[in-house]
Amino acid sequence: MSDTSLFSLEGKKMIVTGASKGIGKAIALGAARAGADLAIGSRTRADLEPVASEIRSMGRECVVHTVDVGKLDSIRTFVDQVLADAGDIDILVNNAGCNRIMPVLEVTEEVYDEIVDVNLKSVFFLSQALAAHMIERGRGGRIINVSSQVGVVGGPLRAAYTAAKGGVCTLTKSMAAEWAEHGITVNAVAPTMTRTPMVEKAMENPGFRANIKKILLGRLAEPDEIASSIIYLASDASAMVTGHTMVVDGGYTAV
């Protein structure tokens, strides 16, 4: 096997949630360039179609289904539809997320539930469904969860989000421990602030914007810089890596 073939996803089928923009779009396109066929999901089909068209223009297959990852019924329908279309899935990337920038004292139960459901509950139940499929087929697989640097160190103005993303990091370890015997690796990537629509909106808050000064490299990450780490974890190059959270933060958590 050549050095470059270790990073190939040729012949693999991957699900990416939240794939219509930002990091999710970069993951889907990067995986297609690496040779994978895709199943992509988000709440709005119209937002997914341009991404699917770009993937197909590379000669890769891409199926599109809507999903509200905060709702269990929607998750189950999405998984059933994807498996019916694709027939098999080798890699799951739990990327969909949401955030609200506000002090703890202003967080309502409705806001808390939305953030935790989209960022943590979705990871639990999508992983559960796809791991069951991977175990049944008997060929292992890859599950990669998108956490956040604030899931590692915390931070002001996003307490519910940090709690959910911290949960993703520890959930990743627990799932890795349970499913290793089936050849399934489970890892997470914890990005720094990345140039995405969600972060651009959050940058309107001066308190959030001040966090850029904590990034040692002095800038926001680009979506492709996060996607490359996920492509690595999806590939054979990471075969001995499981239960790990890869922090891709430009040095934010180093000091």
Name the residues annotated as catalytic: 161
Interacting residues of 97 by C-beta distance below 8 A, sequence separation 6+: 18, 118, 119, 146, 148, 198
As a three-state string, the secondary structure of the chain is: CCCHHHHCCCCCEEEEECCCCHHHHHHHHHHHHCCCEEEEEECCHHHHHHHHHHHHHCCCCEEEEECCCCCHHHHHHHHHHHHHHHCCCCEEEECCCCCCCCCHHHCCHHHHHHHHHHHHHHHHHHHHHHHHHHHHHCCCEEEEEECCCHHHHCCCCCHHHHHHHHHHHHHHHHHHHHHHHHCEEEEEEEECCECCHHHHHHCCCHHHHHHHHHCCCCCCECHHHHHHHHHHHHCHHHCCCCCCEEEECCCCCCC
Do residues 146 and 191 make contact, with C-beta atoms less than 8 angstroms apart?
yes
